[in-house]
Amino acid sequence: MQRLLLLLVAAGLLVSAGCSGRKSADEIDAVKSDSFDELRIAVGETVADADRQAIVVSQINEMEAMFVEGKSVQLAFLDELHELHRNYYSTPEQFEALIDATNAEFLVIEKRLVAINRAIVAATTAEEYESLGKLRLNAFESSVAAQETLDAANREAQ
């Protein structure tokens, strides 16, 4: 599971890594979208009653929306960062302003994500939460494999 996290973090970072990485990262995003579908199905099979299932699924929907929003913020940031970087006359203040503004946006997204996670905890029993943790989701595994290749290529390039 830890490997999964690390590789998917790299996937997120690579989304805007440049022309050579963008197509592959988009393909991985499609797999991630499938992963959310798998997760929703798993919740239906794991959480005992319908009301709590609905709460957990709605939180997962929210999490997916946050993913889309986070990606959009990240892409806009990296595009602007690249423009400043290539402009010989950009000032340090321009960079600082961009970084501060984006950091503030990410902070809001992060807090919402933690709230979503805690809402899922609140809507499940300890046993259900633990059972969800033991799931092996095929789409996640596929995205790990795909990302592993990208990550290795990126490290080699470095």
Partner 1 sequence: MIIATVTALYILFGGGSGWWATEIKALEKSVKAIEMSEPAREEALEVVDYMSDLSSVRTDQSKAVSKELEKLLESYDGDSASIARQLKFYREDTRAFYSQMVQARFQLKENFTAEQWEALFPAAED
Which spans of this chain sit near partner 1 (rule: CB under 8 A)? 1-2, 4-6, 8-10, 12-14, 16-21, 35, 39, 42, 60, 63, 66-67, 70-71, 73-74, 77-78, 81-82, 85-86, 88-89, 92, 95-96, 99-100, 102-103, 106-107, 109-111, 113-114, 116-118, 120-121, 126, 129-130, 132-133, 135, 137, 140, 154, 157-158
**CB-wise, 50 or 104, nearer to partner 1?**
104
110-141: buried (b, 16+ CB within 10 Å) or exposed (e) per residue?
eebeeebeebbeebbeeebbeebeeeebebbe
What minimum distance in Å lies between the beta carbon of 134 and partner 1?
9
Residue 120 CB, shortest distance to partner 1, in Å, is 6
Judged by beta carbon, residue 55 or residue 73, the one nearer partner 1 is 73
Q: Which amino acid is at 77?
A: F
Least separation in angstroms between CB 113 and partner 1: 5
- What is the closest distance, in whole angstroms, from the C-beta atom of residue 51 to partner 1 in the complex? 19
Closer Cβ to partner 1, 51 or 105, answer by number: 105
Query: Contact 109/69 with Cβ under 8 angstroms?
Result: yes
23's torsion region: left (phi>0), alpha (psi -120 to 50) or beta?
Answer: alpha
- Report the alpha-carbon angle 109-9-14, nearest 5: 100
Quote the DSSP letter at residue 87: -
CB 15 within 8 A of CB 71: yes
